Amino acid sequence: AGPCDLYASGGTPCVAAHSTTRALFSAYTGSLYQVKRGSDGATTNIAPLSAGGVANAAAQDSFCASTTCLITTIFDQSGRGNHLTQAPPGGFSGPESNGFDNLAAADGAPVTLNGQKAYGVFISPGTGYRNDATNGIATGDAAEGLYAVLDGTHFNGACCFDYGNGETSAHDTGNGHMEAIYFGDSTTWGTGSGSGPWIMADLENGLFSGVTTGNNAADATITSRFITAVVKGEPGTWAIRGGSAASGSLSTFYSGSRPTVSGYNPMHKEGAIILGIGGDNSVGAQGTFYEGVMTSGYPSDATENSVQSNVVAAKYATTSLTSGPAISVGSAVSFRATTACCTTRYIAHTGTTVNTQVVTSSSTSALKLSASWTVVAGLANSACVSFESRDTSGSYIRHDNFALLVNANDGTKQFKEDATFCPQTGLNGQGNSIRAWGYPTRYFRHFSNVGYIASNGGVNTFDAAASFNDDVSWVVGSAFA
């Protein structure tokens, strides 16, 4: 049985079921998600390998070979048509044209399930999915349950990495107008024990860890790589549960009455569905989503416990975040551009600005050093790498507002994430394309001889689709110095 078969047996059927990694009904053979590729704008749908099975990631890999792909739709497997697509602007605007949010890279969150490769949905700040015209999702004070499988190590404190029930207008319409799973370490509203991240409930104008607007020490800091997060609500009552998605059982972090502050009892749910954003399209948060559902009715703990067993049996596990020629920790490297204009240019820096410069064996030692980098374990994720300047030790290539800079490591989580890159096979077939860990749609690019992290055809000038593959492909060789 799949998770939604278990919810149905418990009398609380799925009214939305979303996953890019696997079918959530044992009989489901339909599409899981749609991807769109950068080369020609064509789309294709990715289905499970077999009924109830894992997504056909190989079909995506072949469709997206030598170009970029974005996840355009996450299909609802429940049959109710509650698909998730690119979120429109609301109280806040997203970074894409007309205020829409970004779409996620199709290959941004590789994992395996029982040894078979699949891809999750890597939400960078600015990315979001939504459906404002749903069918069968709880409204008003009606009962519902939600669970989601998430990356417990990918989060931030901004508002709001959510999955669940939001406003149909994408605007903040008041307390109690949302009921969504939140994951992250925001301390603006509620908190749990330790320093987070925590599973909380976004009920609008507040992330709640328990009955008050503040701290609930029973809501534990999450430390697992894969997590199962549960939120459910019915008239007068709600609960938060969670645990590792790879082993063990769910803990109950809160179960009891609705918050006593005004507006949350009864609830005023509107029945839109959000992923990766707040109810008002707040777009500052990050996180990774693998699967999740919304039910009709308040699931029993026993039903959720059987869903947790099913998730554990799916055996989520990590896999390589890199591809292409190896870039070894401890080596010293140079990056040569491969665009026809520029094949004698290398990534270098002038002060804090990363640029490309012509470097040869007879260049000055200062220029050679400025184009030479020591490869270290990724500051934010040791499955990827960081590049330390050979002339300014303790300073690393990082992105800031999508420009590449050489800055001193200030020790913050933000710096470490901005300085972590996951090299891939070069998009034009040469060398490597150096993908930003926190923005998998974006790669090292030279544009007018200046360094950026660029997406293929995005809104910034430096995102131009023309010569994208060449501009983001680098021959990584020995350092000059």
Q: Which residues are known catalytic residues? A: 204, 280
Q: Give residue 300's Cα distance to chain centre.
A: 29
Give min distance, CB of 464 to ligand AHR, in A.
Answer: 18
Report d(CA 263, CA 272) in Å as an integer. Answer: 19
Considering the complex, state which of residue 191 and residue 282 has its C-beta at the smaller distance from ligand AHR. 282
- Give the Å distances, CA to CA, from 191 to 153, 166, 207: 17, 21, 8
Considering the complex, state which of residue 271 and residue 279 has its C-beta at the smaller distance from ligand AHR. 279
Can you tell me whether residue 16 is helix, strand or coil?
A: strand
| Residue at shortest CB range from ligand AHR | 278
Report d(CA 402, CA 24) in Å as an integer. Answer: 37
Considering the complex, state which of residue 388 and residue 417 has its C-beta at the smaller distance from ligand AHR. 417
Considering the complex, state which of residue 156 and residue 430 has its C-beta at the smaller distance from ligand AHR. 156
Sign of the alpha-carbon torsion through 173, 174, 179, 185:
positive
**Do 180 and 202 meet the contact criterion of CB atoms below 8 Å apart?**
yes
The CA angle 246-248-251, to the nearest 5 degrees, is 115
Sign of the alpha-carbon torsion through 336, 339, 342, 343:
positive
- Give the Å distances, CA to CA, from 54 to 46, 121, 193, 387: 10, 15, 35, 36
Report d(CA 155, CA 146) in Å as an integer. Answer: 19
Give min distance, CB of 162 to ligand AHR, in A.
Answer: 6
Considering the complex, state which of residue 368 and residue 442 has its C-beta at the smaller distance from ligand AHR. 442
Give min distance, CB of 110 to ligand AHR, in A.
Answer: 21
Task: Say if residue 341 is preceded by a cis peptide, omega within 30 of 0.
Answer: no
Considering the complex, state which of residue 303 and residue 420 has its C-beta at the smaller distance from ligand AHR. 420
Give min distance, CB of 295 to ligand AHR, in A.
Answer: 21
- Give the Å distances, CA to CA, from 253 to 154, 220, 258, 287, 468: 20, 7, 14, 21, 47
Give min distance, CB of 60 to ligand AHR, in A.
Answer: 26
Nearest Cα to 449, choosing from 380, 315, 350, 313?
350
Give min distance, CB of 291 to ligand AHR, in A.
Answer: 21
For residue 77, the number of C-alpha atoms closer than 13 Å in the C-beta half-sphere is 35
User: Where along the sequence are the contacts to ligand AHR (CB under 6 A)?
Assistant: 159-160, 172, 202, 204-207, 278-280, 282, 399-402, 414, 418, 438
Considering the complex, state which of residue 98 and residue 412 has its C-beta at the smaller distance from ligand AHR. 412
First to last CA, the chain: 59
Q: What are phi and psi of 32, to 5 degrees?
A: -95, -45
Give min distance, CB of 126 to ligand AHR, in A.
Answer: 9
